[in-house]
Amino acid sequence: MVNSSEKRWIWAAWAIIWPASLYSIYQQTNLDDLKWLDLGAFTALAIIVALFPIMVNQIPVFFLNGITLVIYLNFGLFVELIITTVSVTIVLLQVRMTREDLFRIPLNYVMFLLMSVSAAGIYSLFDLPGNAAQALETPMHIVGILAYSLTLFLMNHLLITLTRIYIYGMRDKIFERSFFWEFMTTFYILPAALLLHLLYHKIGPIAVVFIGFSIASTSYILRLYYRSRSMNEHLRLVSEIGHDLTARLNVKETLDLFMERIVSLVPVDQAYLYDVTNRKDLKLIRLYDPKERSFYQQGDRKKKEEGIAGSVWRSGTGVRYGKRKQWIGKWKETAPSHSESLMCLPIERDNQIIGILVLLSEQRNIYEKYQFMLVDLLANFMAVSLLNAYHYEQTKQISERCPLTGLYNYRYFENALNELFQDMSEHTVSLIMIDLDHFKKVNDTYGHEAGNDVLREVAERLRETVGKEAILARYGGEEFAVILPHRGSCQAAEIADSIQRSITAQPFVTKHTLDKGQKVALNVTASIGVATYPENSEDALELVRHAYRAMYVGAKQKGRNRVSIYHELQQTTENIPL
């Protein structure tokens, strides 16, 4: 982003360089014999060509070089500069500049001044004899014209590259698509420009009509061709993104991928994704800024008809705005200060709106109709992929979770532990095994429903105690297991002590199902064993065996309601006298 200081320097450089250079060139130009009718015809042609630029990587490419060559040969450098300035102004008016981008006008004026002066300087080095009518009579004239055109082309590319690097802070490749399009337009139009020059000296300004029509029509046709080609590339990109979305079987990954890839499809400075919750309101679930990365925005909710997203939800029809003043009154919250263009469309699945997508850009009138259609198509891809990911996660959760406690089951525990040992970067892993003491008496005395209540409450207390990094599982029956990646035996022992305190700190309140549902308070204790890799074991199976041994031998056989650490148990065993 160009800061205010840099913009002031650009304006100051233009105010010093451009008028002074133009006046100096004017002083060396003889305009007494100027044919105003002929000049008007060439000016009209230059303006018409400037109306059909091809936007390549946000860089306008147009057929001006060939026309300025003919103008330079017949009217001189000063006239060529004036007509070039008028044409460049027309092109800049079409690139959807905001107030913040107005510095691009003086910047381009100075750039085209340097290009024209450099090209004229190279041509003058050949010191060719004769007047404009004799410009193609010798091979050296042809070489001079080629040198003029090549200088324009190279200077244009050099100045654009330097501007994007040192002013915009971009790191572009030297040979980008705009380079090849500029090269093609420069030398494709050169034969027609030379033919225009020859015919002009034969039949006068009427030649501009004959040759100029073909130049202008070719410019328009190439513009349509490029837009068609660009649309086909975007359709291919939509297809690729759709396949990538379909391959995702995780809801979060699907949403993040969609938000990240949408910026490769259309120009986006901020993207908002709202979810329709319970068909009552909208909840913002993603706010993506390409410069900052994706993050969540919790708590922002909207009702139907509230703001742009709410009104699109109510109507079911998307909207496009090209200027900030068209939509700012409908944006209830604080809108990004530099945003201009806005696109908002519903995301549908099975003829129901499941979300709203809002895209913002700092450029004016940037969103075209075909881009709206492409985003809508991609959003539908995402909706289907999201449903598939949701169903997959539900199925996976059912297969991996204990339905009673919501903890991971034995199958998931076993797979997770083996994966940790397969990853050689995991240098330390601790395992805590937990068994509730005399739990059979709870079931026999108060009923299995009471026992289930205790198991659910134990699971909840474990969640609150072990932290998010731990892998918590119901090992079977009244046994639980806690895997602690990156935790040594001392840290694991501290967590095990916390688990014991959380279980014994207060009784478990449940209904006595065998006695007419009377509430009872049960004091439950647990025997806990701890083992650590690589301190106490060499593989996953041995880690489980040693943690289980610590729990059974070190805790249960020594009176229950205690924590036993495997290496302490091992030391005690070794110290028993024979």
Lowest mean pLDDT among 86-100, 174-188, 400-414, 442-456: 174-188
The sheet with strand 471-476 has its strands ordered as 471-476, 479-485, 429-436, 526-533, 563-565
The pLDDT of residue 500 is above 90: yes
CA-based nearest residue to 437, from 308, 276, 560, 278: 560
Which residues are 358's β-sheet partners?
272, 344
- Percentage, residues of the chain above pLDDT 90: 27
Instruction: Give dist(CA 510, CA 448) in Å, integer.
Output: 11
Instruction: Give dist(CA 387, CA 404) in Å, integer.
Output: 26
571 vs 206, residue with greater confidence = 206
Q: Mean pLDDT over residues 567-571, rounded?
A: 75
472 in Cβ contact with 463 (< 8 Å)? yes
Using alpha carbons, list the distances in angstroms from residue 329 to 213, 269, 315. 45, 20, 18
pLDDT at position 563 is 95
Peptide bond into 534 cis (omega under 30): yes
Confidence of residue 253 (pLDDT cuts 50, 70, 90): confident
395 vs 374, residue with greater confidence = 374
Which residues are 481's β-sheet partners?
433, 473
The pLDDT of residue 57 is above 70: no
pLDDT at position 298 is 55
Confidence of residue 578 (pLDDT cuts 50, 70, 90): very low
pLDDT at position 250 is 81
CA-based nearest residue to 272, from 248, 250, 297: 297
The pLDDT of residue 54 is above 70: no
Phi-psi category of 62—alpha, beta or left, where left has phi over 0 and alpha has psi -120 to 50?
beta
DSSP 427-438: --EEEEEEEETT
The pLDDT of residue 249 is above 60: yes
pLDDT at position 96 is 63
pLDDT in tens, 207-227: 888 888 887 787 778 777 777
Lowest mean pLDDT among 110-119, 124-133, 252-261, 525-534: 124-133
Instruction: Give dist(CA 284, CA 320) in Å, integer.
Output: 20
pLDDT in tens, 123-174: 888 766 545 555 566 677 778 888 888 888 888 888 877 887 777 666 655 5
The pLDDT of residue 404 is above 50: yes
pLDDT at position 134 is 55
DSSP 468-506: SSSEEEEEETTEEEEEEET--HHHHHHHHHHHHHHHHSS
Name the 3-class secondary structure at 307.
helix
Highest mean pLDDT out of 112-116, 392-396, 479-483: 479-483
pLDDT at position 576 is 39
**Which amino acid does the sequence have at 553?**
V
pLDDT in tens, 67-111: 888 888 888 899 999 998 998 888 888 766 667 778 888 888 998
The pLDDT of residue 472 is above 60: yes
Confidence of residue 340 (pLDDT cuts 50, 70, 90): confident
Secondary structure of 45-94 in HEC code, one letter for each residue: HHHHHHCCCEEECCEEECCHHHHHHHHHHHHCHHHHHHHHHHHHHHHHHC
φ, ψ (nearest 5 deg) of residue 93: -70, -15
pLDDT at position 174 is 58
- What pTM does this model have? 0.60
Exposed, middle or buried: residue 419 (CB in 10 Å: 0-12, 13-18, 19+)? exposed
Token pair 């050169």 is found at 190
Phi-psi category of 494—alpha, beta or left, where left has phi over 0 and alpha has psi -120 to 50?
alpha
Q: Give me 541's structure tokens.
A: 């199976």
Set out the domains of the chain in order of their start, with CATH numbers: 4-231 (1.10.1760.20), 248-396 (3.30.450.40), 410-574 (3.30.70.270)
Q: Indicate the pairing of strand 270-277 with strand 352-361.
A: antiparallel
Mean pLDDT for the chain?
A: 83
φ, ψ (nearest 5 deg) of residue 560: 65, 175
The pLDDT of residue 180 is above 90: no
